[in-house]
Amino acid sequence: MMDLLSTEMNAQEQAQLMHPMVGGLILFSRNYQDRDQLCALVASVRALRPDLLIAVDHEGGRVQRFIDGFSKIPAMGDILPAAKQDLQLAKGWARELGFLMAVELLACDIDLSFAPVLDLNGISQVIGTRAFSDKPDEVIALAEAFIQGMQDAGMAAVGKHFPGHGSVAADSHIAKPVDERSEAEIRALDMVPFAHLMGAKRLQGVMPAHVIYPKVDPNPAGFSSYWLKQVLREELKFDGVIFSDDLGMKGAGVVGGYPERASAAIKAGCDMILLCNDSQGVSELLTSFEWPEQGPQVPARKLLANRPQVAKALEDESRYLAARRIAEQICMG
């Protein structure tokens, strides 16, 4: 999965998107000018490669790539406080916010938001109120409702950052986070929402953390066959798509250059690797790297939007307007 430099594709990017190893496109704020421009950009990509999975990080709060022309989605950690700790009310709101987030992206023919965050709100500098709560049971309840809203609209859910990023302070975008806790502690706390939602078959995708858990494995989770193959696939019976986190992030640098990072992620069990904010790095991978013969275990196209569900959701204007009012109420505090 690659990205684009601006609001239109350039010739190099068109050639890259046609490469058989490219299976997806992730969009950022730099790709957005207004809603009409975004729809035109997506349409031009679809004309080139209709099979591509088009995604964005659009969780709400401080991680929302498109602002003007879209509803402002509150941070997930603001939902329960706004409901005055009434979990049933917060669950109802979470479902409608999941629907609102998804339906606005799907209306622009974007398949996927990498959401929800299933981390706990612990000491992490980069997670914070991106998490629903600091309590596993509240994360489960609210995330499950949010996912239901996404799926009502026809969008798959991708939980991140497995097995949990909330209990380590460093930001893996710019540092190499290390979580020194025991495996038993991680399983008893951070991993609980992931395990529950996989058991309930609520997740269609998972993104592992660029965090090292040295008492479990010397590699970051996204490069660890223990975490991805043994725990995710074998123990938790996860049958969805495993996405690497961005291979351009500082936390991924522990295994070498881009070819080494790609190889390590795939060998560990990732089905789709992300490389963002480095067009030369994408070119390097597409010219010098060969995907292993066995290919991905689960093809990412499984997560393309459910078009009949999308059409039905887009017709439900009263639900959409009610969801917008909920978002505005929470954002206003």
Q: What is the pLDDT of residues 44-70, one digit of tens each?
A: 999 999 999 999 999 999 999 999 999
Secondary structure of the chain in the HEC alphabet? CECCCCCCCCHHHHHHHCCCCCCEEEECHHHCCCHHHHHHHHHHHHHHCCCCEEEECEEECCEECCCCCCCCCCCHHHHHHHCCCCHHHHHHHHHHHHHHHHHHHHCCCCCEECCCECCCCCCCCCCHHHCCCCCHHHHHHHHHHHHHHHHHHCCCCEEEEECCCCCCCCCCCCCCCECCCCHHHHHHCCCHHHHHHHHCCCCCEEEECCCEECCCEEEEHHHCHHHHHHHHHHHCCCCCEEEEEECCCHHHHHHCCHHHHHHHHHHHCCCEEECCCCHHHHHHHHHHCCCCCCCCCCCHHHHCCCHHHHHHHHHCHHHHHHHHHHHHHHHCC
Share of the chain above pLDDT 70, in %: 95
Q: What is the pLDDT of residues 124-145, one digit of tens each?
A: 888 999 999 999 999 999 999 9
Q: Does the pLDDT value for residue 155 go beyond 60? A: yes
Q: Does the pLDDT value for residue 146 go beyond 70? A: yes
What does pLDDT average to over the chain? Answer: 94
Which pLDDT does position 51 carry in this prediction? 94
Q: Does the pLDDT value for residue 258 go beyond 90? A: no
**Residue 332 and residue 176: Cα distance in Å, rounded?**
36
Which pLDDT does position 204 carry in this prediction? 97
What's the pLDDT band for 156 if we cut at 50, 70, 90?
Answer: very high
Q: Does the pLDDT value for residue 74 go beyond 90? A: yes
Options 78, 109, 134, 173, the catalytic residue: 173
Radius of gyration of the chain (CA): 19
Which pLDDT does position 59 carry in this prediction? 96
CA angle, residues 140, 144, 148, in degrees to nearest 5: 175
Are residues 145 and 95 in contact, defined by beta-carbon separation less than 8 angstroms?
yes
| Domain covering 2-332, topology | TIM Barrel (3.20.20)
Options 111, 190, 245, 271, the catalytic residue: 245
Which pLDDT does position 96 carry in this prediction? 98
Q: What is the pLDDT of residues 6-16, one digit of tens each?
A: 999 999 999 99
Q: Does the pLDDT value for residue 171 go beyond 80? A: no
Residues 6+ apart with CB under 8 A from 149: 94, 95, 96, 97, 98, 99, 100, 101, 102
Longest dimension (CA), the chain: 54
Q: Does the pLDDT value for residue 172 go beyond 80? A: no
Which pLDDT does position 117 carry in this prediction? 98
Share of the chain above pLDDT 90, in %: 84
Which pLDDT does position 4 carry in this prediction? 98
Are residues 271 and 205 in contact, defined by beta-carbon separation less than 8 angstroms?
no
Mean pLDDT, to the nearest integer, of 153-170?
Answer: 93
Report how far apart, in Å, the C-alpha atoms of 5 and of each of 26, 192, 211, 272, 313 are: 11, 38, 28, 21, 31
Q: Pairing state of beta strands 53-56 and 158-162? A: unpaired
173: annotated active-site residue:
yes
Annotated ligand binding at 109? The verdict is: no
Annotated ligand binding at 160? The verdict is: yes
Q: Does the pLDDT value for residue 253 go beyond 70? A: no
Of 68, 149, 164, give the one whose Cα is nearest residue 113.
149
Mean pLDDT, to the nearest integer, of 37-46?
Answer: 98
Chain-centre distance for alpha carbon 34: 23
Domain ranges, ordered by start, for the chain: 2-332
- pTM tops 0.75: yes
Which pLDDT does position 254 carry in this prediction? 66
Mean pLDDT, to the nearest integer, of 140-155?
Answer: 98
34: annotated active-site residue:
no
Are residues 212 and 250 in contact, defined by beta-carbon separation less than 8 angstroms?
no
Q: How many CA atoms lie within 13 A of 302 on its CB side?
A: 17
Which pLDDT does position 250 carry in this prediction? 61
Mean pLDDT, to the nearest integer, of 224-247?
Answer: 95
Annotated ligand binding at 325? The verdict is: no
Q: Does the pLDDT value for residue 251 go beyond 60? A: no
